[in-house]
Amino acid sequence: MTSSGPVSKLAAIVAIPTVSHHDQELTPAAEFDRLLATVAQLWPGVHALEVIRVGAHGLLIRWPGRSPDQPVVLMAHLDVVPVVASDWSRDPFGAEVADGAIWGRGTLDDKGCVAAICEAVESLLARGFVPARDVWLSFGCDEEVTSASARAAVEVLRSRGVRPWLVLDEGGAVARDAFPGIAAPVGVVGVTEKGLTNIRLTVTGGGGHASTPARNGPAVRLARAITRLDRAPMAARLPEPTIELFRRLAPHAPAPMRAVLGNAGRLAPAAGRLLALAGPEAAALARTTFAFTMLAGSPARNVIPATATAVVNIRVLPGDTVASVLDHVRLAIGDDQVGVELIEGEEPWPVSPYSVPGRGDEAFDLVTGLITEVFPEAVPAPYVVLASTDSRFFTAI
Ligand SMILES: [Zn+2]
């Protein structure tokens, strides 16, 4: 390993603790400044391109091609999530290179992509390569919290009339053992994301002292509402990209599974229900999910709360809507004493085009073709991203 090699460059940016927080006060601006200065120093050719600062510390960079038409946007993010030090066997910002790996927060999510993109562009620039079309690099600085800088990047592109041909962000992976019974690695390409919605459940009633409790107080009523909703999940079904994922996996599956996967389109309702029973990750593929978070009420051991609240963190599957989810929640709880309030509602995101038999998509085929070139044994396929990435805001352009 040389000091200028890609490994040491990635290690250098992993070592900078750019942890983003919802509370801007807690975000270490100086570390983000240091990261931007380091990126500029490690990849001087990239830094010499047109660099536009977006949001607090986001970067939008234009690498001009022979034509500005139908540009490509390559994305990554500069921030990382906070660290619980006791979960780590090595310094999370030590960026040690050991056992064939770089150890550190953000190595995979997502500074590896920052380094890979910059290194690729830098080496092509050094060779005098000019891409056929413009290539934009978009590096958000708050992907893990608000995505404000990605939204700002979208506004810059929109104001310049840029309509990307392909936007490529983090999310998918080429993974072995991701699907039971499938030996081949699967290269999943996210083509849509679930919508992130939060609601608050509130029950108000008689509080008081714990020595004289009344029955069915706010905490109990809230608990009942949560239990009812937990026992009444939304209907399971398979969105179109999941049906195509299964169709592509079918030839690689053992005989009994092959027929089910290959016919997932026709068997969609039953296959969705089966998937919903196969553990939390499989279930998340097949339905809108409810997670109960931020339970709150009593401030003391002997105080019966006058108000008890919980947040339901909901991931809306393409095909459902925020309105249909709210209807379901009210119906499942079946108690008009439980307030159901929408904190933020995000619909599932549009589905990007992907190839199915008889209907190809050039951009999707380019990505899957590259997967097969680098990982010849992998099965490339579309899928629904269960979490959220900055790229969802680019659907606007
Ligand atoms: Zn990420």
Task: Kindly report, residue by residue over 224-242, the tens digit of the pLDDT.
Answer: 999 999 999 999 989 999 9
* CA–centroid distance, residue 37 to ligand 1 (Å): 21
Query: Is residue 3's pLDDT more than 60?
Result: no
Mean pLDDT of 35-43: 98
* CA–centroid distance, residue 108 to ligand 1 (Å): 8
DSSP tag of 183: -
* CA–centroid distance, residue 394 to ligand 1 (Å): 16
pLDDT given at position 52: 98
Q: Phi/psi of residue 113, each to 5°?
A: -70, -40
* CA–centroid distance, residue 132 to ligand 1 (Å): 29
pLDDT given at position 237: 87
pLDDT given at position 251: 94
Of the candidates 110, 134, 142, 143, the residue annotated as catalytic is: 143
Q: Are 202 and 307 in contact (CB under 8 A)?
A: yes
Rounded Cα gap, residues 60 and 75, in angstroms: 9
Q: Are 136 and 73 in contact (CB under 8 A)?
A: yes
Burial tier of 160 (Cβ tally within 10 Å: 0-12, 13-18, 19+) = exposed
Exposure on the CB side of residue 355, measured as CA atoms within 13 A? 15
Which has more confidence, 43 or 270?
43
pLDDT given at position 4: 60
Query: Is residue 148's pLDDT more than 60?
Result: yes
Q: Are 184 and 196 in contact (CB under 8 A)?
A: no
Q: Are 148 and 386 in contact (CB under 8 A)?
A: no
pLDDT given at position 262: 87
pLDDT given at position 207: 81
Mean pLDDT of 87-116: 95
Angle value at C-alpha 346, between 200 and 172, nearest 5 degrees = 115
Query: Is residue 79's pLDDT more than 80?
Result: yes
Mean residue pLDDT of the chain comes to 94
Q: Are 324 and 195 in contact (CB under 8 A)?
A: no
Give the 3-state secondary structure of residue 168: strand
Rounded Cα gap, residues 380 and 189, in angstroms: 7
Which has more confidence, 249 or 177?
249
* CA–centroid distance, residue 78 to ligand 1 (Å): 9
* CA–centroid distance, residue 169 to ligand 1 (Å): 9
Residue 327 a catalytic site member: no
CB atoms within 10 A of CB 76: 24
Query: Is residue 84's pLDDT more than 90?
Result: no
* CA–centroid distance, residue 352 to ligand 1 (Å): 19
* CA–centroid distance, residue 193 to ligand 1 (Å): 13
The strands making up 195-204's β-sheet, listed across from edge to edge, are 289-296, 307-316, 195-204, 338-344
* CA–centroid distance, residue 124 to ligand 1 (Å): 25
pLDDT given at position 2: 46
The tokens for 284 are: 């998340």
Q: Report the share of the chain in percent with pLDDT over 70.
A: 99
Give the least confident one: 12-16, 56-60, 297-301: 297-301
pLDDT given at position 24: 87
Rounded Cα gap, residues 303 and 195, in angstroms: 37
Residue 79 a catalytic site member: yes
CB atoms within 10 A of CB 296: 14
Long-range contacts of 161-165 (CB under 8 A, 24+ apart): 162/68, 162/71, 162/134, 162/136, 162/397, 163/70, 163/397, 164/70, 164/71, 164/72, 164/73, 164/136, 164/394, 164/397, 165/70, 165/71, 165/72, 165/133, 165/363
Q: How confident is the model at residue 1 (pLDDT cuts 50, 70, 90)?
A: very low
Q: Are 143 and 378 in contact (CB under 8 A)?
A: no
Q: What is the pLDDT of residues 156-203, one digit of tens each?
A: 999 999 999 999 999 889 999 888 788 999 999 999 999 999 999 999
Of the candidates 79, 134, 144, 170, the residue annotated as catalytic is: 79
Query: Is residue 243's pLDDT more than 90?
Result: yes
Q: How far is CA 235 from CA 239, 312, 373, 390, in A?
A: 12, 17, 39, 28
Tell me how long the chain is: 397
The tokens for 278 are: 């196969």
Q: 95: Cβ–Cβ under 8 A, 6 or more apart, which residues?
A: 10, 11, 12, 14, 15, 102, 103, 104, 107
Nearest C-alpha neighbor of 162 from the set 188, 136, 190: 136
What residues form DSSP beta bridges with 114? Answer: none
Which has more confidence, 226 or 5?
226
Which has more confidence, 291 or 177?
291
* CA–centroid distance, residue 15 to ligand 1 (Å): 17
Radius of gyration of the chain (CA): 24
pLDDT given at position 298: 92
Rounded Cα gap, residues 147 and 140, in angstroms: 7
Query: Which residue bears the tokens 């590259």?
Result: 370
At residue 378, what is the residue type? A
Q: Report the share of the chain in percent with pLDDT over 90.
A: 83
The tokens for 26 are: 């807690």
* CA–centroid distance, residue 8 to ligand 1 (Å): 21
Q: What is the pLDDT of residues 304-357, one digit of tens each?
A: 999 999 999 999 999 999 999 999 999 999 999 999 999 999 999 999 999 999
